[in-house]
């Protein structure tokens, strides 16, 4: 997962403003007691951060995988 896909997934799942707040403020034990934003800055893979956030926020598995990917271009 690219960083841009991570932020797109956050926005799509939680909304732009709330998603940014969650990423900045919610401390996640699965990420060593860091927020999602801190973990990303420390070099943790965006997919790992996304899945940890999904676990903490009870995002259903059906909305976890492939999240944030842009729609395929149509010819």
Q: DSSP letter for 33, please.
A: S
Task: Specify the pLDDT at position 69.
Answer: 76
What pTM did the predictor assign? 0.86
Task: Specify the pLDDT at position 75.
Answer: 64
Which three-class secondary structure state does DSSP give residue 16?
Answer: helix
Per-residue pLDDT of the chain (75 residues), as tens digits, is: 899 999 999 999 999 999 999 999 999 999 999 999 999 999 999 999 999 999 999 999 888 887 777 766 676
Task: Specify the pLDDT at position 65.
Answer: 84
Query: Could you tell me the residue ranges of all domains in the chain?
Result: 3-63
Q: DSSP letter for 20, please.
A: H
């Amino acid at each position: 997962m690219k960083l841009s896909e991570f932020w797109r997934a956050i926005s799509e799942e939680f909304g732009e403003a709330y998603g940014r707040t969650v990423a900045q403020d919610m401390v996640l034990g699965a990420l060593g007691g860091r927020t999602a934003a801190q973990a990303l800055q420390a070099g943790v893979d965006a997919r790992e951060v996304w899945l940890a956030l999904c676990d903490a926020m009870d995002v259903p598995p059906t909305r976890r995988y492939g999240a944030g990917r842009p729609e395929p271009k149509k010819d």
